Amino acid sequence: MSTTTAEASRRRTFAVIAHPDAGKSTLTEALALHAHIISEAGATHGKAGRKATVSDWMEMEKDRGISIASSALQFEYAPEGHVGEPYMINLVDTPGHADFSEDTYRVLTAVDAAVMLIDAAKGLEPQTLKLFRVCKARGLPIITVINKWDRVGREPLELVDEIVKEIELQPTPLFWPVGDAGDFRGLARVDEDGEVEEYIHFTRTAGGSTIAPEEFYSPEEAAAREEDVWETAVEEAELLAADGAVHNQELFEKCVTSPLIFASAMLNFGVHQILDTLCTIAPAPHERASDPAAVEASATAIDEVRELDDDFAGVVFKVQAGMDRNHRDSLAFMRVVSGEFHRGMQVTHAQSGRSFSTKYALTVFGRTRETVESAFPGDIVGLVNAGSLAPGDTIYAGRKVQFPPMPQFAPEHFRTLRAKSLGKYKQFRKALEQLASEGVVQILRNDARGEANPVMAAVGPMQFEVMQARMEVEYNVETITEPVPYSVARRTDAESAAELGRQRGVEIFTRGDGELIALFGDKWKLAFIEREHPELTMDPMVADG
C-alpha cells in the first residue's frame, strides 16, 4: 500500500448538518472535547457566563447563537483499543439556517459522509428533510443522531417510523437509549445481528463542559440496575431487529440505511460513540470523476477519473475572508482529492490554466490557524490569498483534471446595495468583489443602474444582513439597501435578453460569472411571458442534485 493510500485510509471527512438549533455547533465542540484537543466545551448561546462555540467565529454568529458560515476542524482520534495510527478527522460544521443552505450544499460536495442531527422533540423539520434528500440524491452515507435526549421529547420508535415514512431511509440502531427522552441514563450497544450486548451508563458533569464518565455493564447487570427501563430498551431494539433494521455496511454506503445513535451533545452523552462509529464505518476518501463537459471540451489530455494515488488534485468548496482581524486575508478551503499536497508546491488552476504557488497553507480551528506542510486525500486545507479561486474550482499537479462545477442556487430575494458615503466607493468596490467571490450573495449589474448600485440576489434575506455586517466590520463601509420589485430569476441568452428587456416588469442583468439573468416581478408575470413568447430562453436556476 502506498503512503498516499495508507494516509487516505485513516481519513474520515464528514459534515454535520441539521435544522437550525438542533445542536450542530454544540456537537462539534463535544467531538473536539472527546478528541482531547480542547479541555472544556463551549456551549450554545443564551446561557449566562457560557462561552461561544469555537467553530463560530463571525460576530453575528456569536450574537445570534447560530452558525452562518461553514467551519472546518481537523484533529486526530483513536478509539479505545485501536491499534496503529490514529484516525484523522476532518469535520465540517455547517450553517443550519435555511437562508444559508447554499453554503451547506457546497460542503456536501467536499465530504464522504454526513452526520445528521435530529431534535428529539421536533423530529424531522423542513431543513432536515431537505438536507436528508440532498444527501440521499448524492449517495452520501448518513449517520443519524437523535440529539437532546436529555430533554423531554418524542418516543424513539415514533422518530424511527417518521424517518422511514418521510424519506424512505431505514435507521439501523447501533446505540439505543436507556431511559425516556428527558430521563437519559445511558445507551444499549446493539451488534450487527440486532442483539443488545452492553449497557453504557453516563454520569452528568457540571454544565456538561467536560467528558461524561462512562460505566459498562453486561445485559444481566443492566437488568438488575435499571429494571423496567432496561427491559423496555431491549424490547424496542429487538423489535427493530426483527423488522430487519440491522446495520449492513453495503446498504449504509449506498444510502439505503442509516446507522442510528441517541445522544445529548450538551451533556456529552453518546458523543464518544458517534466518533467511534465514524471511525469504524464511515467511508474513507475514494477516487473522483472529472466533469464530463470539461473532458469533452479540453484541448489537452485530461483524467476522466482521479485515483487516490494519482498526482495531487483538489477542489475548492468555500472561499472566506475576515476570519481573523489580525490577518486581512482570504482563505480558499480546498478538499484534497488525490495525491499528496505539499506547502509551496506549484499547481495549476484548471479553469484558467494559470499556474501558482501554494506558499501559505493552513488548517483552521475556529479562529486558530496552523501552517500545513503536507496533506492527503480527505484533508481540508485553507489556501491563503489565492484570489483567483472560487467555489467549485479545481487545482492540480501533473496530468490535468477538472471536477464538476459547484451548483448555484436560484435566488428568491433581491435588494440594491450602495455605499452610504461616496467617499467610500473604492472600499465598496473592493468589498463587493471579495464577498461576491465567496458566494455571500450573487451580484447582478446592468448599465442602467451602474456600478455603484448593483442588485444583490440571495436564497434568504439573512444573507443581505451578513453582506452589510461584513462590509462594515471588515472594510469600514456602511451601506444602504433598498427593495426591488422582483421575486423570480431565470437564466437567459443575449438573443432572448433583447426581447425580454422590452417587457414590462422584467429587468436584465449580468452576473459576476458572465451569465445573463432576467428578473421578473412575480411567477405570474413569468408565466405570461412564457406563454406569449415560447421561443425565448428562460431557464430555471436550479442547483444540481
Closest listed residue to residue 146, CA positions, set 130, 162, 126: 162
Instruction: Specify the DSSP element, H or E, that contains 318.
Output: strand 313-321
The response to whether 97 counts as a known ligand-binding position is: yes
Pairing relationship of beta strands 87-93 and 11-18 according to DSSP bridges = parallel
Residue with cell 466533469: 291
Tell me how far apart the alpha carbons of residues 249 and 14 are, in angstroms, rounded to a whole number: 17
Closest listed residue to residue 273, CA positions, set 208, 192, 214, 185: 214
Q: What cell does 356 get?
A: 501558482
Closest listed residue to residue 149, CA positions, set 169, 178, 127: 178
> For residue 413, how far is the Cα from the chain centroid?
22
Q: What cell does 163 get?
A: 424517518
Residue with cell 432572448: 496
Please, are residues 157 and 239 in contact by the beta-carbon 8 Å criterion?
yes
The three-state (H, E, C) secondary structure of 485-527, written as one string: CCCEEEEECHHHHHHHCCCCCEEEEEECCCCEEEEECCHHHHH
The response to whether 539 counts as a known ligand-binding position is: no
CA torsion sign for 29, 34, 39, 41 is positive
Task: Give the residue numbers of the binding site.
Answer: 93-97
Task: Give the residue numbers of the binding site for GTP.
Answer: 93-97
